[in-house]
Chains A and B, each alone.
Chain A
């Protein structure tokens, strides 16, 4: 059972639609009570960093519950796009405090002669092998829409990078916690495979 976190500003519909297509059981949680029995979490993301942090803080126990599930119970967790950025300590997009599950900062993409936001299909350079990459390779294309990108403090946590004027971290992993900057739920068969892989990662709990 995958629990999709609803921060009221995300495109939860797309994620739920794809999980259903994959025949994965899922539920949507918008309060900590609904999160309590989660054994796998996806934090989708569309929206501003601040409005997501605000929602996170406003919902009673949501932040604490997430931290407990991710750090103590070590259930597989995946942040998508803004959801990935929320995993980090802070963002240049706003004052809000991120979850801090992965050390690092979210920074505005530098233009480097390119248009911002980075919007469209792009490829990934895989840094190290991971169960997430079963059936995924460097010819797979993923859909990106973002103006900010995470910079993990620890380089070894970068699973994959993507080139847009300069390379940025497109997939991060710290133990049971994954973050992907692109939208697997909108990346056709490539994204479908990646989400399927995530749903099949064994739960340590």
Chain B
């Protein structure tokens, strides 16, 4: 029996750990390596680290930083942010990253995912997808690097990424991210059902029951950020995983 995964999601910007709200603002959280150490002690299922400024700025990953994070991380580590070449990917895997997440590069290079899948295998490849409602209330694919919507319809886009060779999808609801409004289960559930690969539902988780509800959906895993790094809503930083979650599975 496979246990569904509960995955802390950490955001990097300029070498620091930060937290955003609907992809905007940035609250300083602390030192990335120390935080990873804490999640390690707490036996987190997995860790996702995204350097959110990289694709927008067109700069490569901070390999030294990722490497020092990986040294503290004895659980599976996914890194995303600014990956545009096989060389980038190779360096990341060598430093101790299990999976890389590709988001912005999929908008400009149709073949990148496939090339990476052939080289490193699907299981090491996560497709990052951000969903956002447009002014008409229609859910669309959001390109954070360009600050614009992408033309693909969400369902055909997730299926396209599956065909390209991605082994897993990390789907974030921009409108829920950092809001403590609860996960967008209705939005992401149907997308997870339309592909054969595992999907991680991310954005908006506000309490333990919400985690269980998300895991009851067709998602294979849930990404949790605010709930694990703040004491509670509008409170200070306190990196923790509730006991109940630590004993889950």
- Report which A residues bind B (CB closer than 8 A): 8-14, 16-18, 21, 46-48, 51, 82, 111, 114-123, 141, 143-147, 163-164, 183, 185-189, 191-192
- Is A141's CB under 8 angstroms from B124's CB? no
Contacts of A21 in B (CB 8 A): 74
Task: Report B157-175 CB contacts with A as 1/0, cut-off 8 Å.
Answer: 0000000000110000000
- Is A120's CB under 8 angstroms from B220's CB? yes
Contacts of B220 in A (CB 8 A): 115, 119-120
- Is A13's CB under 8 angstroms from B67's CB? yes
- Is B74's CB under 8 angstroms from A185's CB? yes
The one of A10, A51, A123, A143 in contact with B93, judged by C-beta atoms closer than 8 angstroms, is A10
A-B contact pairs, 9 of them (CB 8 A): A11-B96, A17-B74, A48-B118, A115-B220, A117-B122, A120-B4, A122-B2, A122-B3, A123-B1
Is B97 engaged at the interface, CB distance under 8 Å to the other chain? yes
- Is A46's CB under 8 angstroms from B98's CB? yes
- Is A13's CB under 8 angstroms from B249's CB? no
The one of A8, A114, A145 in contact with B98, judged by C-beta atoms closer than 8 angstroms, is A145
| A contact patch SS | mixed
Contacts of B95 in A (CB 8 A): 13
Contacts of A114 in B (CB 8 A): 2
Is B121 engaged at the interface, CB distance under 8 Å to the other chain? yes
A192 with B74, Cβ < 8 A, contacts A8-B90, A11-B98, A120-B2 known:
yes
Select the residue from B76, B97, B220 with max chain A CB neighbours within 10 A: B76
- Is A14's CB under 8 angstroms from B120's CB? no
A141 with B3, Cβ < 8 A, contacts A119-B220, A120-B45, A188-B43 known:
yes
Contacts of A188 in B (CB 8 A): 40, 43, 74-75
Contacts of B94 in A (CB 8 A): 11-13
- Is A121's CB under 8 angstroms from B1's CB? no
Query: CA–CA, A18 to B2, complex, Å?
Result: 24
Query: CA–CA, A143 to B78, complex, Å?
Result: 14
Question: What is the minimal beta-carbon distance from B185 to any residue of chain A, in angstroms?
Answer: 18
Closest chain A residue, CB of each to CB of B118: A48
Is B137 engaged at the interface, CB distance under 8 Å to the other chain? no
Query: CA–CA, A201 to B112, complex, Å?
Result: 43
Query: CA–CA, A47 to B40, complex, Å?
Result: 25
CB interface residues, B 28-46, toward A, < 8 Å: 40, 43, 45-46
Contacts of A111 in B (CB 8 A): 196
Is B104 engaged at the interface, CB distance under 8 Å to the other chain? no
Contacts of A117 in B (CB 8 A): 122-123, 167-168, 197-198
Q: What 4 additional pairs, Cβ within 8 angstroms, besides A120-B2, A186-B75?
A: A11-B93, A46-B98, A143-B76, A145-B123
CB interface residues, B 81-113, toward A, < 8 Å: 90, 93-99
Contacts of B77 in A (CB 8 A): 14, 186
Is B221 engaged at the interface, CB distance under 8 Å to the other chain? yes
Contacts of B67 in A (CB 8 A): 13
Question: What is the minimal beta-carbon distance from A168 to any residue of chain B, in angstroms?
Answer: 12
- Is A115's CB under 8 angstroms from B198's CB? yes
Closest chain B residue, CB of each to CB of A48: B121
- Is A147's CB under 8 angstroms from B3's CB? no
Is B5 engaged at the interface, CB distance under 8 Å to the other chain? yes
Closest chain B residue, CB of each to CB of A20: B71
- Is B74's CB under 8 angstroms from A46's CB? no
Is B70 engaged at the interface, CB distance under 8 Å to the other chain? yes
- Is A13's CB under 8 angstroms from B70's CB? yes
* Pairs of residues from A and B, 5 with the lowest C-beta to C-beta distance, nearest first: A13-B96, A14-B96, A145-B123, A13-B95, A117-B123
A82 with B70, Cβ < 8 A, contacts A14-B96, A120-B221, A186-B76 known:
no
Closest chain A residue, CB of each to CB of B94: A13
- Is B3's CB under 8 angstroms from A46's CB? no
Select the residue from B4, B74, B98, B99 with max chain A CB neighbours within 10 A: B74
- Is B96's CB under 8 angstroms from A46's CB? no
Select the residue from B95, B97, B121, B123 with max chain A CB neighbours within 10 A: B121
- Is B96's CB under 8 angstroms from A118's CB? no
- Is A119's CB under 8 angstroms from B118's CB? no
